Structure 1
Amino acid sequence: MAHAASSGTPKFSSRLAFVMAAVGSAVGLGNVWKFPYTAGENGGAAFVAVYLLGLLFVAAPIFIAEVLIGRRGAASPPQALGSQAVEHGRTNAWRIPGLFGLVGGLLVMSFYSVIAGWTLDYMLTAARGMFSTFDAAGAEAHFDGLKASLPRLLLWQGLFMLATLGIVAMGVRAGIERAVSIMTPALGILLLLLVVYALIIGDADRAIRYLFAPDFSKLNADMALAAVGQAFFTLSVGIGGVMMYGAYLPKDASIFRASGMVVAADTAVALLAGLAVFPIVFAHGLDPEGGPGLVFVSLPLAFSAMPGGDILGALFFFFLLIAALTSAIALYEPTTAWLSERGVSRIKGTLIAAGGSWLLGLLSVFSFNIWQDVDPLGFIPSLQGVNFFGLITNGIDKLVLPLGALVISGFVGRVLTRKAVLEELNMRDGPLFRIWLFSLRWITPGVVAILFLVNIF
C-alpha cells in the first residue's frame, strides 16, 4: 500500500540531484546567520563540539529516518505516514503529524522570508557602495531603519517569496532540481572565497582557536541544549521538507550514503561560515556574542573598514540570499505536493502555500515596528515581552522541530518493521544499522524529550 503512490511520484534524476537539493535545504540562514552568533553566545569551541555530537547521534539519525519514510511512502508527508501506518496495521491518524508538519513549514517560511528579505536589502546596499560610508551609528541606524520601514520589509519579503514560488511552481526536475544544481555549487564557491578572504585579512589564529580549541569549563546544560537545538535547526529535520525530498530520491540510491553526504556538507558549511565571520569579528574588535545583529550590524561595519569592503559585502549577502532561497524551496514543496495529490494544480498549490505563509509573515513584519510592543501571550510570565516574531521562532525551535523529530524517530523505530526498514535502506543487519537503530529508538528520543521538556518548563 505504501508503494502504490510511487508510480506517479516524480523523481530526481540522480542521487547527486537529491544531495544538491537536500544540501540546499539544510544549508540556509540556520548555518550562516544563526550558527555563528549562537556559537558566539555559547562560548565558541565547546558549543561546536557538542553541536557536532548532536548532529551525529541525534539529528543525523532522524534525517536518515525522514528520508526513509519519504522514499518508502513516495508521497507527501501526511500521505506517506498514513499509508505506511495502515500497511503495518496501525491507524491512518499517523497522517495528522504530517499535516502539522505542513503547517510548521509554512510557519518557518513566514519568518524566514522576512529575514531573507533583509539579505536582499543589504546586498543592494553594499552594491550601491553604501557600506563604505558606515560607522557604528550608521550600521545600527540602517538595520533599525530597515526593521521600522513597513514598505521596505513588505517589498523584500514579497520579492523573496515570488522567487521561491516561481521555482517550486515549475516542478521537481524543471524547477527544484535545475535551480539547486546551479545554486548549491555557487553557495560552496562563494563561501570558500569568503573564508579565504576572511582568513587573509582577519584574525585567523584567534578565530580558529575560538572555533576549534574547546574550553569545556564553559560547558553547561543550557549550552548543550542550545547546541543540540542548533543541530536540529541546521539540518531542517522535523517539518517534512527532508521527507518530501526523500520521496523524490531514486530507488537505486543508497539512503545512508546520500544522507551522509548531506550531513557532512551541512556541517562543513556551518563551520566554514564561522571561519568566514569570526576572523573579521576579531580583527575589528567586535563582540562575538553579538546575537542576531552580528551579521546585519557588526559585519557591515567591518566591511566598511576593508579595502573593497562593498564588493565583499555584496558577495556575502548574495551568498546568504542563495542559502535562504535553496532552503525556502523545501518549505513550500510538501504543501504543494499534498495539494497536488488532491487534484490542485501545481501552480495553484504553490500560490496557496505562498499566500498562507505571506499572511502569517505579516505577524513577523509587524513585530519589528507597529506591533513590536505587543506580547500576545504576555499573561504567561515566561512569555512577557515576547512579540509574534519571538513566539514563532521560539515555537519552531523549541516545540515544532522536537515534536516532529519524536514522531519520525518513533515511526521508523517503533512502527515500521525491522524487515521493511532494512529493505528500504538496502542494508544488512550489521553493526552500522544496529547503532543507527539504537540511536533512533533510544538516544534520539531521549535527548529530544529532554530538550522539549526543558523548553516547556
Structure 2
Amino acid sequence: MAHAASSNSPQFSSRFAFIFAAVGAAVGLGNVWKFPYAAGENGGAAFVAVYLIGLVLVAAPIFVAEVVIGRRGAASPPEALRRQAVEHGKSKGWRIPGLFGLLAGLFVMSFYSVIAGWTLDYISFGARGMFSSFTAETASQHFDDLKASVPRLLFWQGLFILATLGIVAMGVKKGIERAVTVMTPALGVLLILLVIYALATGDAGRAIEYLFRPDFSKLTPDMALAAVGQAFFTLSVGIGGVMMYGAYLPKDASIFRASGMVVAADTAVALLAGLAVFPIVFANGLDPSGGPGLVFVTLPLAFSTMPGGDILGTLFFFFLFIAALTSAIALYEPVAAWLAERGVSRIKGTMIAAFGSWLLGLLNIFSFNLWKDFSPLGFLPGLEGMTFFGLITNGLDKLILPIGALIISWFAGRLLARKAVMTELGVEGGLLFRFWIFSLRWITPVAVAILFLVNLI
C-alpha cells in the first residue's frame, strides 16, 4: 500500500501550489535560454514539431511517473524508491538511483548557478541604461569580459545561490510555496509583455513562419534526436525534483490533470520564448542559429537599437533570472529533504546542498578563464578540448539524465503493481492509463536508449 504521509510530512496547500512549483521547476533556462537557440540551430518549425511529439510520447509519461513515485513514497527520492521497492519485494538498493539523482541535481546547479549569475550581471547592466551603448564589438566584449572575470562570476553565482538557499531553507509552505505562487505567475506576465513587444516591434510574420510552418524535408536524424532530447530536458525529469514535489502533492489532486497542466504550461513558455526572441532576431538581420550567444550577445545588441531597449533588456534578463530561480529551488529541495530524514535541520541541509553546488560550480567558472585551455579527459576520443563545463553539461544531458529516465520508466512501468499505480492515479484503467503504461514500458525506454546510444557514438 502507499505510504501515508505522517502528520509531520510537509504538503502543498493545494494542487495549484504543486502546479506553480512544478511549472517553476520545469520552466527554466532550458525553455528560455536553450529552446530558442536549439530551434534556431535545427531548422525552426520542423524541430518544434518533433519536439512536441517527443514531449507527448517520451517526456510527459516520465513526468507523470515521477509524480506517482513521489506521492506514493511520500519522502525524498531515495527513500520513496526504497520504500516502494521493499513494498513490492525488491531490493533496498533501489534507493541508490535516487541518491545519484540528488548528486545529479547538485551538478546541474553547479553550472545553472553560473549561467543564472550571468543574468544578474546583465540586469545590473541594463538597469544602469547601458544596453543603449552596445555595438557589435562591445556586446561581444562585455560577454567575454564577464566570462574572463573570476571575481564577477563568483559574486553573481554566490548571490544566486544565496537567493535559492534562502527560499528552500524556509521550508515547503513558508518558503517554496510562497515563492512559487508569486514568481511563477510573474514569469507568465513578464513573458507575455515581452512577446507583445517583440511581435509589435519585430518581424512577427517571419518569426511565426519560422517557428510554426515546418519543412520536414530539412529534418535529419540528428535534428530529430536533438528535438526529443530537448523535450526530455525541458521538463526537468530524471533528477528528483519532480518526484520530490510529487511527495508534496495533496492526495485528493488528480496526477494526470495536474501533470497535464504543467506540461501544457511548460510547452507554452517554450513556444512563447521563441516568439519573444525570433521577431527581434529577424527584424535586426541577426542569425537565429547563433547558439548560446544568441541570448547574451545577439539579443543585447538588438536591444541597443530598439525603442526602450534598456527597459526591455532589463525585463528580459529579470525574466531569465526568475525562471532560473524557480528551477534551482527544485534542485536543492530533494537534498534538503533527504538530509532532514536523517536528522539534519532544514537550514543546515540546504546549506550543505548550497556549499556542494558552489564548490562544483568553481569547476564551471574556471572553465571560462583560468582553465579554459584545460581538457581533463582530452585523452579520450570525442572529449578532446572539452573543459569541465563541457564535460558536466554534456555528461548530464547525454548520460546521467537518460539513465535516470530509463530507471524511472522501468520502476513505474514494470516494478510497481498495476493496481497500486491505478489507485494512486485514481483511475480504473482507460485509454489514457493504457497509453501511459505502454509509453513507459516500450516507447520511452526505446527512445531514451536510442538517444543514449547515439550520444555515446
- The code of the aligned residue for 1:211 comes to L
1:104 and 2:110 are equivalent in the alignment: no
1:82–1:95: 8 Å Cα contact kept in structure 2?
yes
1:433 is aligned to 433
User: After TM superposition, what 4+ stretches of structure 1 lie above 2 angstroms from structure 2?
Assistant: 4-8
- Greater shift after overlay, 325-334 or 426-435? 426-435
Return the letter of the residue paired with 2:190.
L
CA distance in 2, matches of 1:333, 1:217: 44
Q: State the match for 1:385 in structure 2.
A: 385
Query: What secondary structure does 2:382 align onto?
Result: helix
In the superposition, relative to structure 1, how do residues 131 and 207 fare at CA in structure 2: closer, same or farther (>3 Å)? same
Q: Which residue number in structure 2 is paired with residue 299 of structure 1? A: 299
User: Structure 1 residues 4 and 16, CA, compared in 2 at 3 Å: closer, same or farther?
Assistant: closer
The aligned counterpart of 2:281 is 281
Deviation at 1:8, TM superposition (A): 3.0
1:250 and 2:250 correspond: yes
Query: What is the CA-CA distance between 1:7 and the residue it aligns to?
Result: 3.9
Q: Any stretches of 5+ residues in structure 2 without a counterpart?
A: none
Which residue of 1 is the match for residue 414 of structure 2?
414
Alignment partners' CA distance in 2, 1:169 and 1:304 = 39
Which amino acid is the alignment partner of residue 164 of structure 2? Answer: T
Q: Is this contact kept in 2: 1:6–1:75, CA < 8 A?
A: no
2:136 corresponds in structure 1 to 136
Kindly indicate whether the alpha-carbon contact (under 8 Å) linking 1:238 and 1:405 is maintained by their aligned counterparts in 2.
yes
Per-residue deviation, 1:2 = 4.9
Separation of aligned partners in 2, 1:377 and 1:143: 27
Percent same amino acid at aligned positions? Answer: 79
Q: Distance in 2 between matches of 1:89 and 1:428?
A: 24
> Counterpart in 1 of 2:359?
359
Aligned partner of 2:449 in structure 1 is: 449
Partner Cα separation in structure 2 for residue 430 and residue 268 of structure 1: 27
What pairs up with 1:42-441 in 2 under 5 angstroms?
A: 42-441=42-441
Q: CA deviation at 1:4?
A: 5.2
Q: How much has 1:64 moved relative to structure 2?
A: 0.2
State the secondary structure of the residue aligned to 1:8: coil
- Corresponding letter in the other structure for 2:449: A
Distance in 2, Cα, partners of 1:53 & 1:251? 30
Quote the residue 2:28 is aligned against: 28
Q: 1:390-421 deviations in whole A, cap 9, x for unaligned?
A: 00001111111111100100000110000000
Kindly provide the CA deviation profile for residues 65-88 of structure 1, in whole angstroms up to 9, marking residues without a partner as x: 000000000000000001100000
For residues 79-110 of structure 1, give each alpha carbon's deviation from its aligned partner in whole angstroms, at most 9, with x where no partner exists: 00011000001001000000000000000000
Contact 1:2 1:80 in 2 (8 A): no
Give the counterpart letter for 1:155 in structure 2.
F
> Per the alignment, in what secondary structure is the counterpart of residue 9 of structure 1?
coil
Structure 1 residue 221: Cα displacement: 1.0
Distance, in Å, in 1 between the alignment partners of 2:342 and 2:60 is 32
* Partners of 1:9 and 1:247 within 8 A in 2: no
Q: Does 1:37 align with 2:37?
A: yes
Query: CA separation in 1, counterparts of 2:259 and 2:192?
Result: 23
Aligned-partner residue type, residue 261 of structure 1: M
TM-score by length of 1: 0.99
> Letter of the aligned partner of 1:341 in structure 2?
E
SS at match of 1:402: helix
Displacement of 1:323 after TM fit?
Answer: 0.3
**CA distances 1:11-37 after superposition (whole Å, capped 9, x unpaired):** 000000000000000000000000000
Q: TM-score, normalised by structure 2?
A: 0.99
CA shift for structure 1 position 6: 4.2
5+ residue gaps in structure 1?
none
For residues 435 and 323 of structure 2, what CA distance do their matches in structure 1 show? 32
Distance (whole Å) between structure 1 residues aligned to residue 52 and residue 213 of structure 2: 14
The structural deviation recorded for 1:5 is 5.1
How far apart, CA to CA, are the structure 2 residues paired with 1:230 and 1:286? Answer: 23
Q: Deviations along 1:123-163, whole A, 9 cap, x unmatched?
A: 11011011100000000000000000000000000000000
Give the counterpart letter for 2:24 in structure 1: G
In 1, Cα distance between the equivalents of 2:232 and 2:372?
A: 28
Mapped partners of 1:7, 1:229: distance in 2 = 40
Q: Counterpart amino acid of 1:294?
A: L
> Secondary structure of 1:211's match?
helix
Q: Give the secondary structure class of the aligned counterpart of 1:432.
A: helix
Deviations 1:303-351 (A, max 9, x none): 0001110000000000000000000000000000000000000000000
CA distance in 1, matches of 2:9, 2:451: 35
The amino acid that maps onto 1:234 is T
Give the letter for the 1:170 counterpart.
Answer: M
- Asked whether the equivalents of residues 41 and 291 of structure 1 are also in contact (C-alpha less than 8 Å), the reply is yes
Counterpart CA distance in 1 for 2:453 and 2:135 is 43
What is the alpha-carbon distance in structure 2 between the residues aligned to residue 87 and residue 326 of structure 1?
Answer: 33
Q: Is the 8 A contact 1:6 1:73 kept in 2?
A: no
Q: Distance in 1 between matches of 2:400 and 2:335?
A: 16
Q: How many angstroms does 1:432 deviate by?
A: 1.2
Give the Cα–Cα distance (whole angstroms) in 1 for the partners of residues 105 and 5 of structure 2. Answer: 23
Preserved contact between residue 109 and residue 328 of structure 1 (Cα < 8 Å): yes
- Distance in 1 (CA, whole Å) between partners of 2:384 and 2:211 is 34
Q: Which whole-Å CA distance do the structure 1 matches of 2:141 and 2:172 have between them?
A: 42
Q: 8 Å contact 1:117–1:153 — kept in the other structure?
A: yes
